[in-house]
């Protein structure tokens, strides 16, 4: 079995790659026409179909495990959970178990646990970012306060661990608890990098690897673990998830500057408003003129956002092909994810996962 | 083995018990003279001595597991961890393992995990309470912001679970992950009860059982678990911890109205300032005249604290013997804790735990 080559984090986004190239058409990153969107969604269809039966059980479990006599807990949890996240992560857990022929029901609990870990992170994230919106709805912290978001997040984390323990696989527990610690580490890293225009591509990749890719990786690795497969299969799936998660986050960060809020359920421009240093901005700042640098300092570091700043940011991203180059980078990670899948058994589930990789990338176009 | 009777949560604090009784001398709840304090501390000495060797390893582990390349993590974690908490909870884990003759080193990791769970709770608590002080020092959130407190708490929780997984006992994992969910539930319950003078003794006991006693209980139960003892022993230790934790919290809540800040490292009057409905206030409100009720509404619900309000609160607690009755309640739980110990092997560790129960109660006098 040949291990897929793990891409170097930012080699293809160095300045020399773009010298002499013209600006990209930023329009290509705006809302895709309906037909395109349908085509993209069709790429997710095989995964959704193959996991549909198990996802019903996951959704039932999510509902029952957010239950509590303390009324505020189901209120806050379901406000976020019912707001229509894609539930990609739990689907990945189900799929990677099914791909290896798993026939038990432990994957359902692990999938619900993964979704709870993700939801807890979002609740805590909103407190950290002081976000007012999440998935196109008012953030929980706005309705119930920061306190509730912190504590309900803690409750969901506790429930996640309980479900993992019930499944009884120490290896799965090790993978997911390690992910929990790494995710929190990544969040703190991001906090330190926030509003800091000296953030390098390395810093950025370290953050998204820890805070996004790690949970994708763990979500995928526990599938072959409970299917009783050898470590090589855990590693193949972990690598698949790590690369897919990285590609997914890169595309998310592109969409924040050019995507359609109807697709994402997230307001375009959030990252600029919050001074979040994502790769498109990092790439622009690396090559900025003195005047452009002043712009980024004002917007990102001083948080002094004025009318027309988003358009200006988009113009600069156009000038430096920052969105295109970020998508190119995402494509490299997506290719590495697909390569990792080749080490897994060829079957319809594997095909569905390959198609999901394509979906994640095509969202950006 | 006779199971110790678990005390009814608030039977002895009903109004009829105090009718006709005169006011207590509130001075008995203020700073104990040095000699008394030394005597109390001596009660902890056997536990400290018997766990000293293992606690060195626990402290080393705490230090190494707060390490991270992300500089803010050890900074925030150690600000709180080094601020001189009593580390009573990890000592209980060590002691309950030793009491059953455990000879491995898993208890050290479990003890460190318990302390991390506790520290994470404190970090998140401070965000929820908007506290400025913790253990006599500036709260972490004041120096590093709410974000850092939330995220470093998450990191510590992740590390706690990693350590538990490394120990490899699914039963210990089950007990501690259940505690994590219950603690968060208790915190949300407290949030709902905060600033609400309709809080009943039942509400209060439900909160402290979930948010304090549950971790004491789990900390004690995992000792016999990793010592490979049968379930009856887990239950005896769980009951011991639950009752001890309840007594401990009741005394803490008394000290907040009358204890010495040098003993507690906590400012007297915090609960009044934060509108936290602890038993001493609940007892006063249950029997309050209309005028007294107006006082509690203004202070607790409206948060309109004026000069002399603390003295007035103390006067009312004197009138209704609220602090004394809370200590009496604590004593009942302490007795139940001691009774639970009788089901455990008679040895110096058991004696040290019995002495620790006495210590927890005597702090209030």
The pLDDT of residue A262 is above 50: no
> Are the beta carbons of A151 and B71 separated by less than 8 Å?
no
Half-sphere exposure of B196 toward its Cβ, with a 13 Å CA cutoff?
12
Q: Nearest chain A Cα to B207, which residue?
A: A70
What are the tokens at B332? 């009942």
pLDDT of residue A82: 75
> What is the β-pairing status of strands B133-134 and A133-134?
unpaired
Q: Could you tell me if B68 lies within 8 Å of chain A, comparing CB atoms?
A: yes
Give the number of beta-carbon pairs within 8 Å between A and B: 139
Q: Nearest chain A Cα to B151, which residue?
A: A184
CA atoms of A163 and B181, how far apart (whole Å): 11
> Are the beta carbons of B147 and A128 separated by less than 8 Å?
yes
The total number of residues shown for chain B amounts to 365
> Are the beta carbons of B181 and A159 separated by less than 8 Å?
yes
Per-residue 3-state assignment (H helix, E strand, C coil) for B24-64: CCHHHHCCCCHHHHHHHHHHHHHHHHHHHHHHHHHHHHHHH
Question: Is A10 in contact with A329 (CB distance < 8 Å)?
Answer: yes
The rounded mean pLDDT for chain A is: 86
The rounded mean pLDDT for chain B is: 85
Q: How far is A162 from chain B (nearest CA, A)?
A: 5
Interface test with B, best of A66, A67, A69, A70 (most B CBs within 10 A): A70
pLDDT of residue A286: 97
Residue listed under structure tokens 């897919």: A244
Band of pLDDT at residue A202, cut at 50, 70 and 90: very high
- Give A128-145 pLDDT, tens digit per residue: 777 776 666 777 777 777
Selecting from B147, B162, B178 the residue whose C-beta is nearest the C-beta of A162 gives B178
Domains and CATH numbers, chain A: 26-362 (1.10.600.10)
Selecting from A146, A162, A174 the residue whose C-beta is nearest the C-beta of B181 gives A162
Residue numbers in A near B180 (CB within 8 A):
154, 157-158, 161
The pLDDT of residue B81 is above 80: no
Query: Per-residue DSSP letters for A261-278?
Result: HHHHTS-TTHHHHTT---
Residue numbers in A near B146 (CB within 8 A):
127-128, 146
Query: Per-residue DSSP letters for B261-275?
Result: HHHHTS-TTHHHHTT
Question: Is B345 in contact with B97 (CB distance < 8 Å)?
Answer: no
pLDDT of residue B264: 40
The pLDDT of residue A162 is above 70: yes
The pLDDT of residue A12 is above 60: no
Q: How far is B296 from chain A (nearest CA, A)?
A: 23
Question: Which of A:119-158 have CB within 8 Å of B?
Answer: 124, 127-128, 146-148, 150-152, 154-155, 157-158
> Are the beta carbons of B158 and A165 separated by less than 8 Å?
no
Residue listed under structure tokens 């006992």: B169
Give pTM, 2 decimals: 0.86
- Give A43-90 pLDDT, tens digit per residue: 999 999 999 999 999 999 999 998 888 888 888 878 877 766 789 999
Q: Could you tell me if A165 lies within 8 Å of chain B, comparing CB atoms?
A: yes
Interface test with A, best of B77, B185, B189 (most A CBs within 10 A): B185
Q: What is the mean pLDDT of residues A348-362?
A: 96
> Are the beta carbons of A191 and B151 separated by less than 8 Å?
yes
> Are the beta carbons of B158 and A178 separated by less than 8 Å?
yes
Q: Look up the ipTM and state it.
A: 0.85
The pLDDT of residue A230 is above 80: yes
Cβ atoms within 10 A of the Cβ of A9, count? 18
Residue numbers in B near A187 (CB within 8 A):
151, 154
Question: Which of B:188-207 have CB within 8 Å of A?
Answer: 188-189, 191-192
């Amino acid at each position: 079995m040949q291990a897929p080559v793990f891409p170097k984090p930012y080699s293809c986004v160095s300045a020399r790659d773009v010298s002499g190239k013209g600006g990209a058409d930023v329009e290509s990153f705006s809302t895709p026409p309906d037909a395109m969107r349908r085509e993209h969604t069709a790429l997710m269809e095989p995964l959704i179909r193959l996991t549909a039966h198990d996802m019903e059980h996951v959704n039932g479990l999510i509902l029952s495990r957010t239950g509590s006599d303390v009324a505020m807990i189901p209120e806050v949890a379901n406000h976020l959970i019912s707001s229509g996240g894609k539930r990609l992560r739990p689907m990945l857990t189900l799929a990677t178990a099914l791909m290896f022929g798993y026939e038990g029901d432990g994957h359902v609990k692990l999938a619900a646990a993964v979704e709870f870990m993700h939801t807890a992170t979002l609740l805590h994230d909103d407190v950290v970012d002081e976000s007012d919106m999440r998935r196109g709805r008012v953030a929980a912290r706005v309705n119930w306060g920061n306190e509730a978001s912190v504590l309900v997040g803690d409750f969901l984390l506790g429930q996640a661990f309980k479900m993992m323990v019930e499944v009884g696989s120490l290896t799965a527990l090790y993978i997911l608890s390690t992910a929990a610690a790494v995710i929190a580490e990544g969040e703190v890293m991001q906090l330190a990098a926030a509003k800091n225009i000296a953030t390098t591509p390395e810093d950025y990749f370290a953050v998204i690897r820890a805070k996004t890719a790690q949970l994708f990786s763990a979500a995928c690795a526990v599938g072959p673990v409970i299917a009783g497969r050898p470590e090589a299969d855990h590693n193949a799936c972990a690598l698949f998830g790590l690369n897919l998660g990285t590609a997914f986050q890169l595309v998310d960060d592109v969409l924040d500057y050019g995507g359609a809020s109807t697709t994402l359920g997230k307001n375009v421009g959030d990252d600029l408003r919050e001074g979040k240093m994502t790769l498109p901005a990092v790439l622009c700042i690396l090559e900025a003129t003195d005047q452009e640098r002043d712009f980024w300092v004002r917007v990102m570091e001083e948080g002094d956002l004025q009318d027309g700043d988003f358009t200006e940011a988009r113009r600069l991203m156009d000038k430096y092909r920052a969105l295109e180059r970020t998508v190119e980078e995402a494509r490299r990670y997506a290719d590495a994810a697909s390569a990792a899948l080749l080490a897994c058994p060829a079957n319809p589930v594997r095909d569905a996962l390959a198609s999901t990789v394509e979906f994640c990338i095509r969202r950006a176009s």
